[in-house]
Structure 1
């Protein structure tokens, strides 16, 4: 590796980083009157599953483009692949916690 290759790496380090996108909490927070305002729990879970599915489909498309050599920016492809992997892992953890909570409720004696 030559010393001339290092300045090109520095250009990637100075590239702007996309800010994370968060869902607004107001939709899921209970209202002052005791009711739930906005989307219900099933709607939130469904939307989360759709988001994870969309990320996985995008990653699959990126991998196909990478295999055919049609990728312009390998760095962005790798970032999207890692984001989809983390999203899938988070979804699996949430699923496991939901199943544990359901099993705990089912074990309760009335």
Structure 2
């Protein structure tokens, strides 16, 4: 017959990560830094698309495909940024609904 062991006391002063054996990563980029870099990239794509449109209007660029490609690239990046923003806002609102 198997013996049932009792449950030990909760260890105080220890974190959940420590008790689960999760190692913390140090020196990696934070969410804030990652998101700011992403915003900078999206802004750069928007500016590149605007410059392409202006150059096409001025007659400097005749390749419509190049202009449309840069515009669509900026559009996809902007839409992805908005979806990430929406998910972050939804998560924040869900956290705010939690009662302590």
User: Structure 2 length normalisation: TM-score?
Assistant: 0.73
* 1:84 corresponds to which of 71, 74, 78: 74
CA contact (8 A) 2:56 2:62 kept: no
RMSD across aligned positions (CA): 1.4
SS in 2 for 1:109: coil
Alignment length, in residue pairs?
A: 79
Do structure 1's residue 105 and structure 2's residue 98 form an aligned pair? no
Q: CA deviation at 1:50?
A: 0.2
Q: Which residue of 2 aligns with 1:62?
A: 52
Q: Which has the higher contact order (CA 8 A, sep 6+)?
A: 2
CA contact (8 A) 2:49 2:74 kept: yes
The superposition leaves residues 9-33 of structure 1 with CA deviations (integer Å, 9 ceiling, x where unpaired) of xxxxxxxxxxxxxxxxxxxxxxx72
Structure 1 residue runs without a partner (length 5+): 1-31
* 2:64 corresponds to which of 36, 54, 74: 74
Q: Which moved more, 1:98-107 or 1:64-73?
A: 64-73
| Deviating 4+ runs (over 6 angstroms) | none
